[in-house]
Amino acid sequence: MTNDKNRVVIFDTTLRDGEQSPGATMSHDEKLEIASLLDEMGVDIIEAGFPIASEGDFAAVSEIAKNARNSVICGLSRANFKDIDRCWEAVRHAKQPRIHTFIGTSPLHRAIPNLTQDEMAERIHDTVSHARNLCDNVQWSPMDATRTEWEYLARVVEIAIRAGATTLNIPDTVGYTAPNESADLIRRLIAEVPGADEVVFSTHCHNDLGMATANSLAAVEGGARQIECTINGLGERAGNTALEEVVMAMKVRHDIMPFTTGIDATKLMNISRRVATVSGFAVQFNKAIVGKNAFAHESGIHQDGMLKNAETFEIMRPEDVGLSETNIVMGKHSGRAALRSKLKDLGHDLADNQLNDVFVRFKSLADRKKEIFDDDLIALVADSAATDQDDHLHLQAMTVICGTEGPQKATMTLSVGGIEKSVEATGDGPVDAAFNAVKAIFPHQTMLQLYQVHAVTEGTDAQATVSVRMEEEGRIATGQSADTDTVVASTKAYINALNRLILRREKTGGHDLREVSYKDVS
């Protein structure tokens, strides 16, 4: 594929090994979509599936082979003629087809078909020869290579080379090896096996011990020039080497890993998100390169450094992987500099005294909730500007009756502008009854956009944190409250959001919600 000895070929097996993750099955159209994205991104070889596994797999591999513009299209087959023939039938229409055949060579795997070393060696010779007679691009893998006896591994690798294999993949099938072992194994095979200098050595590492990417990169240092990987590290058990990690590691540490790939790294985030969607496997927040938190900063020290010079805490640029910018996350670890910058972005350039007041309120809020939204910050500014003014609405007392027979009923006393009013209302559940009681006392046209309940602790006495988001005429406000009584927390959060809308109306010049006459229901 290339004569450049520093060029590392990327072999993506998301559609084969990745799809073997329990629950990650993709539809025919989804496989075609992902294959197209991989082809466009510059992946050298796409292992499109296991053609003999099912009619659906065969159809997907065949269609991908016909549509591929740049990538080599590979199918997997076991070490028997029937598998190999079916694989060839699926990939033969590709501009660049490849057959990948494998057999387990470790003592544990040899015991499954009950083959002696000599019997297995003969099968390897016959099946690789058969594949090569069909296709001039043949890859062979000794499954569980890292737990195969050295003498036998060297023997069967030589047999596969003589039989016509052009790529020799040395898989760490169970994620057992360590980086120094991975490098030494490849280095020794190349040095001691006759004909090894005439083929490409590949590495396929699983992440059972969390070392898949490290093992793959070590193998490259040992002489491997193909890395088998998947998008988001998807795959059996703990997954595989992640394509994003090897690509960016070579890019960022080109000083000690002077290798290149043909991958367009700016497309990484797009395909990562799409694979997560179609596979149903969400990317963990702290996943390297593509996780939600990979370019997010909450610590005050980090945020201050980022605002002064992004390189202080980021070794790559977000735009390098297809993101627009770094995410400054506002939370309890954030400092004044980050808060000032965030508020400035929201249109609030505060004087030092006002910033200090908002900062105190912000820290108090951040201690109570994990995620701070822009609307929360805007409300804090509004609250700070109205420090001499109490909330217009205040819950004085409430009793809720609920059970298997409805409707549920809420009896409430609410202070409206300092005047107490009481009401009794019903609803479809206790929370609905409570909200209806608020609306009966204080009529309004706001719409409830979001209602979320989170348990702060475990157990029957857990404190519930309730968040609501309200909207009226394009203006949005959030409210939050915590209480061991979920209905009380819900009602307070609802009232908090209404109070914030009242303040925002005043600041933006809209009609004052206070002017809406409430019902005299006492």
Say if strands 393-401 and 97-104 run parallel, antiparallel, or are unpaired. unpaired
Question: Which pLDDT does position 214 carry in this prediction?
Answer: 98
Question: Which pLDDT does position 458 carry in this prediction?
Answer: 53
The answer on pLDDT for 39 being more than 80 is yes
- Give dist(CA 213, CA 202) in Å, integer: 13
Taking residues 294-299, what's their average pLDDT?
Answer: 77
Range among 119-128, 274-283, 359-368 rated most confident: 119-128
The values of phi and psi at residue 492, to 5°, are: -65, -40
The answer on pLDDT for 510 being more than 80 is no
Taking residues 347-353, what's their average pLDDT?
Answer: 87
Q: Which ranges of 236-351 would DSSP assign to H, the alpha helix?
A: 243-252, 268-279, 300-308, 336-345
Q: What pLDDT, in 10s, does the model give residues 170-203?
A: 999 999 999 999 999 999 999 999 999 999 999 9
Higher local confidence (pLDDT), 6 or 382: 6
What is the enclosing helix (H) or strand (E) of 225?
Answer: none
Half-sphere exposure of 421 (CA within 13 A, CB side): 20
Taking residues 394-418, what's their average pLDDT?
Answer: 93
Query: 340: pLDDT confidence band, cut at 50, 70 and 90?
Result: confident
Provide the mean pLDDT of the chain.
89
Q: What pLDDT, in 10s, does the model give residues 265-276?
A: 999 999 999 999
Whether 228 contacts 202, CB under 8 Å: yes
- Give dist(CA 146, CA 150) in Å, integer: 9
Taking residues 273-296, what's their average pLDDT?
Answer: 88
Question: Which pLDDT does position 387 carry in this prediction?
Answer: 43
The values of phi and psi at residue 501, to 5°, are: -65, -35
The CA distances from residue 126 to 82, 90, 143, 391, in Å, are: 13, 21, 17, 83
The answer on pLDDT for 153 being more than 80 is yes
The answer on pLDDT for 162 being more than 90 is yes
Chain CA centroid to CA 301, Å: 26
- Give dist(CA 440, CA 520) in Å, integer: 9
Whether 85 contacts 92, CB under 8 Å: no
Question: Which pLDDT does position 79 carry in this prediction?
Answer: 97
Amino acid identity, position 361: R
Query: 218: pLDDT confidence band, cut at 50, 70 and 90?
Result: very high
- Give dist(CA 512, CA 522) in Å, integer: 23
Query: Sheet of 419-427: strands edge to edge?
Result: 393-401, 408-416, 419-427
The answer on pLDDT for 508 being more than 90 is no
The answer on pLDDT for 26 being more than 90 is yes
* 407, burial (CB in 10 Å: exposed 0-12, middle 13-18, buried 19+): middle
The answer on pLDDT for 393 being more than 90 is yes
- Give dist(CA 318, CA 304) in Å, integer: 18
E strand map for 128-166: 138-143
**DSSP designation for 408:** E
Q: What pLDDT, in 10s, does the model give residues 50-96?
A: 999 999 999 999 999 999 999 999 999 999 999 999 999 999 999 99
The CA distances from residue 225 to 44, 222, 365, 444, in Å, are: 12, 9, 52, 67
Question: Which pLDDT does position 191 carry in this prediction?
Answer: 98
**DSSP designation for 294:** T
Question: Which pLDDT does position 147 carry in this prediction?
Answer: 98
- Give dist(CA 105, CA 120) in Å, integer: 8
Q: What pLDDT, in 10s, does the model give residues 88-147?
A: 999 999 999 999 999 999 999 999 999 999 999 999 999 999 999 999 999 999 999 999
Taking residues 241-249, what's their average pLDDT?
Answer: 97
Taking residues 307-312, what's their average pLDDT?
Answer: 83
- Give dist(CA 429, CA 423) in Å, integer: 17
- Give dist(CA 30, CA 18) in Å, integer: 13
Longest dimension (CA), the chain: 96
Question: Which pLDDT does position 110 carry in this prediction?
Answer: 96
**DSSP designation for 23:** T
The CA distances from residue 504 to 35, 358, 375, 432, 468, in Å, are: 49, 16, 10, 25, 16
Among the listed residues 45, 41, 23, the one whose alpha carbon sits nearest the alpha carbon of residue 33: 41
Whether 134 contacts 94, CB under 8 Å: no
The answer on pLDDT for 465 being more than 80 is no
Asked if the bond preceding 22 is cis, omega within 30° of 0, the reply is: no
Query: 389: pLDDT confidence band, cut at 50, 70 and 90?
Result: very low
Question: Which pLDDT does position 332 carry in this prediction?
Answer: 80
- The structure's pTM equals 0.70
- Give dist(CA 225, CA 5) in Å, integer: 8
The answer on pLDDT for 158 being more than 60 is yes
Count helices and strands (H / E) in the chain.
Answer: 16, 16
Share of the chain above pLDDT 90, in %: 64
What is the enclosing helix (H) or strand (E) of 315?
Answer: none
Beta-carbon contacts of 397 under 8 Å, excluding residues fewer than 6 positions away, are 412, 413
The answer on pLDDT for 297 being more than 50 is yes
- Give dist(CA 127, CA 6) in Å, integer: 31
Range among 200-204, 255-259, 504-508 rated most confident: 200-204
